[in-house]
Amino acid sequence: MPVLVIFIVLSFAFYVFYKVKYVRSKRPAEKQWISAKSRIALGIFVAFFGINQLFLYSTTTTYIVAAVFIVIGGLSIWTGIKAYKYFLPLAAEEAQWLKANQQ
């Protein structure tokens, strides 16, 4: 399925993008917020990779490995969303505090 391959490549590109932003960031709350976004992108990558394997091969081993990938990707997405929601207000407060102290 070419659509799944496009989603796999895009999610991996977002993962790399967010990891580069994570390394370049200096603020701790912002780093955790960006790390949560990269965790979501990696989870999407792993889940789509597992779904793609279901369409490519039809063996019992593939079904087991694909199920493991989908579950791990789903858990990564879930924990990433929880971390994103937690760190978003902290990162916004941190940015506001730095902006107020620079002026």
Query: Per this entry, what is the length of the chain?
Result: 103
CA 17 to chain CA mean position, Å: 10
pLDDT at 99: 85
Query: Does residue 2 carry a pLDDT above 90?
Result: no
Mean pLDDT of the chain: 93
pLDDT at 95: 87
pLDDT at 103: 66
What phi, psi does 56 have (nearest 5°)?
Answer: -85, -45
CB atoms within 10 A of CB 10: 14
Q: pLDDT of 9-58, one tens digit each? A: 999 999 999 999 999 998 999 999 999 999 999 999 999 999 999 888 88
